[in-house]
């Protein structure tokens, strides 16, 4: 059976776990080889743990289990040289590049005027400049190849609307939309498509941590996942707290595939109605 991205090579940042891993596995299942990168470390000023190299190895194992090839590197999207080296090594090994999923990101909270300079700068450096670094490492390769391509940037519902107490995140994710739209226009003559995906809350380690449980339960240091999920449920029109990584991967796969061959410059929401807007009295 032929896959929807057969014979293509996909670069994915933030691929050690969560949505990035899910995208790697989903695209591999549809025939793509994978260039994976991740920082595989905790990040200063981010209040929940990062993945380890063992997590990245698990992504490698899952892709290889599907009989696809994978080249993986520990690289920090804040450092252009390390991203470019990872991309160039992957392309040398796998022979080409077709799909770029700029997914790596971090989350933080605080009133806009109370964020520390480090919290602000780290957020912008990873969630906005990191996306720019990822795509600018790849674009010259896509242009030289002359076969078009698909760039998908992971923004958020917070890239299209405000979510209180996350101004640095909201600003970075809105910035991704501006970058996406600019590149969609600049790259159209090369038949390189550029789109962004905008998930509501996704059930990954980014939300499954005590820091977030405490925040969402009014500062309770022992706040539970169950109580936090109840708070998150109120953000969606559907009566659910979070979608699964696979829900976002399916949107990424669509944008990566030829099914979307004339889709560019779009903001694709996968949001359980969060941005509808709505006012529903959940039972
Ligand atoms: N989880 C959610 O509720 C949610 C909702 C909307 C959008 N998003 C976005 O989805 C993307 C993926 O997040 P996730 O939910 O899978 O969370 P996650 O924390 O499980 O995964 C994020 C990955 O990005 C990597 N990363 C972070 N900083 C990096 C850096 N400097 N260099 C390289 N890699 C780095 C992390 O190590 C991690 O593996 C992020 O951009 C996030 O902002 C998440």
Domain assignment of residue 172, yes or no: yes
76 lines ligand 1 (CB under 6 A): yes
Clarify whether residues 131 and 158 are in a common domain.
Answer: yes
pLDDT, tens digit, 9 for 90 and up, residues 131-168 = 999 999 999 999 999 999 999 999 999 999 999 999 99
Clarify whether residues 198 and 215 are in a common domain.
Answer: no
Confidence of residue 92 (pLDDT cuts 50, 70, 90): very high
Task: Supply φ then ψ for residue 61, to 5 degrees.
Answer: -60, -45
Least confident residue range of 76-80, 151-155, 215-219:
215-219
Residue closest to 188 by CA, chosen among 152, 150, 155: 150
For the cut 60, the answer to whether the pLDDT of residue 169 exceeds it is: yes
Confidence of residue 54 (pLDDT cuts 50, 70, 90): very high
Note down the domain range covering 223: 208-241
Clarify whether residues 212 and 97 are in a common domain.
Answer: no
Clarify whether residues 224 and 111 are in a common domain.
Answer: no
Q: Do the beta carbons of residue 74 and residue 40 sit within 8 Å?
A: yes
pTM for the model: 0.98
Nearest atom in ligand 1 to 154's CA = 41
Q: Which residue has the higher pLDDT, 2 or 187?
A: 187
Clarify whether residues 198 and 226 are in a common domain.
Answer: no
Nearest atom in ligand 1 to 125's CA = 31
pLDDT, average across residues 167-187: 98
pLDDT, average across residues 88-99: 98
Clarify whether residues 136 and 43 are in a common domain.
Answer: yes
Domain assignment of residue 275, yes or no: no
Confidence of residue 129 (pLDDT cuts 50, 70, 90): very high
Share of the chain above pLDDT 70, in %: 98
Clarify whether residues 233 and 146 are in a common domain.
Answer: no
Domain assignment of residue 273, yes or no: no
Residue closest to 28 by CA, chosen among 64, 73, 74: 64
CA 128–ligand 1 middle distance (angstroms): 12
For the cut 60, the answer to whether the pLDDT of residue 83 exceeds it is: yes
Domain assignment of residue 283, yes or no: no
Clarify whether residues 74 and 108 are in a common domain.
Answer: yes
Give me the residue label for tokens 């698909």. Answer: 150
pLDDT, tens digit, 9 for 90 and up, residues 103-116 = 999 999 999 999 99
- SS3 category, 243: strand
Q: For residue 277, what pLDDT is reported? A: 73
Structural domain total, the chain: 2
Domain assignment of residue 198, yes or no: yes
Length of the chain equals: 283
Domain assignment of residue 82, yes or no: yes
Clarify whether residues 14 and 129 are in a common domain.
Answer: yes
For the cut 80, the answer to whether the pLDDT of residue 1 exceeds it is: no
Clarify whether residues 110 and 214 are in a common domain.
Answer: no
Question: What positions carry a catalytic annotation?
Answer: 169
Nearest atom in ligand 1 to 169's CA = 43
Name the residue of 15, 60, 197, 206 to mutate for ligand 1: max ligand atoms within 8 A of Cβ.
206
201 lines ligand 1 (CB under 6 A): yes
Domain assignment of residue 62, yes or no: yes
Clarify whether residues 120 and 70 are in a common domain.
Answer: yes
Confidence of residue 244 (pLDDT cuts 50, 70, 90): very high
Q: Give me the CATH number covering residue 94.
A: 3.40.50.720
Confidence of residue 121 (pLDDT cuts 50, 70, 90): very high
Confidence of residue 282 (pLDDT cuts 50, 70, 90): low
**Helices marked H in 111-258:** 117-124, 130-145, 167-187, 210-216, 225-233, 245-256
Clarify whether residues 34 and 59 are in a common domain.
Answer: yes
Q: Whose CA is nearest to atom 41 of ligand 1?
A: 105
Angle subtended by helix axes 130-145 and 80-94, to nearest 10: 30
For the cut 90, the answer to whether the pLDDT of residue 206 exceeds it is: yes
Domain assignment of residue 33, yes or no: yes
CA 2–ligand 1 middle distance (angstroms): 30
> What is the rounded average pLDDT for all residues in the chain?
96
Q: Which residues are 198's β-sheet partners?
A: 269
Confidence of residue 280 (pLDDT cuts 50, 70, 90): low
């Amino acid at each position: 059976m032929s896959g929807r991205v057969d014979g293509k090579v996909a670069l994915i940042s933030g691929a050690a776990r969560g949505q990035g891993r899910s995208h790697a596995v989903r695209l591999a299942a549809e025939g793509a080889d994978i260039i994976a990168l991740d920082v595989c470390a905790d990040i200063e000023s981010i209040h929940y743990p990062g993945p380890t190299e063992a997590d990245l190895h698990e992504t490698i194992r899952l892709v290889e289990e599907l009989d696809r090839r994978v080249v993986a590197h520990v690289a920090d999207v804040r450092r252009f040289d390390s991203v470019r080296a990872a991309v160039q090594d992957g392309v040398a090994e796998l022979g080409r590049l077709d799909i770029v999923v700029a997914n790596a990101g971090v989350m933080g909270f605080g009133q806009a005027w109370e964020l520390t300079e480090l919290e602000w700068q780290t957020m912008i450096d990873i969630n906005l400049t990191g996306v720019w670094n990822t795509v600018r490492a790849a674009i010259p390769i896509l242009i030289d190849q002359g076969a078009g391509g698909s760039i998908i940037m992971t923004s958020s519902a917070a890239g299209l609307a405000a979510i209180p107490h996350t101004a640095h995140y909201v600003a970075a994710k809105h910035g991704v939309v501006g970058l996406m739209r600019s590149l969609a226009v600049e790259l159209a003559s090369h038949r390189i498509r550029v789109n962004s995906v905008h998930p509501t809350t996704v059930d990954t380690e980014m939300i499954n941590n005590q820091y977030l449980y405490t925040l969402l339960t009014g500062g309770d240091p022992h706040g539970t996942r169950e109580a936090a999920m109840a708070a998150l449920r109120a953000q969606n029109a559907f009566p659910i707290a979070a979608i699964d990584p696979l829900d976002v991967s399916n949107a990424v796969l669509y944008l990566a595939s030829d099914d979307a061959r004339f889709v560019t410059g779009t903001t694709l929401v996968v949001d359980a109605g969060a941005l509808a807007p709505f006012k529903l009295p959940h039972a």
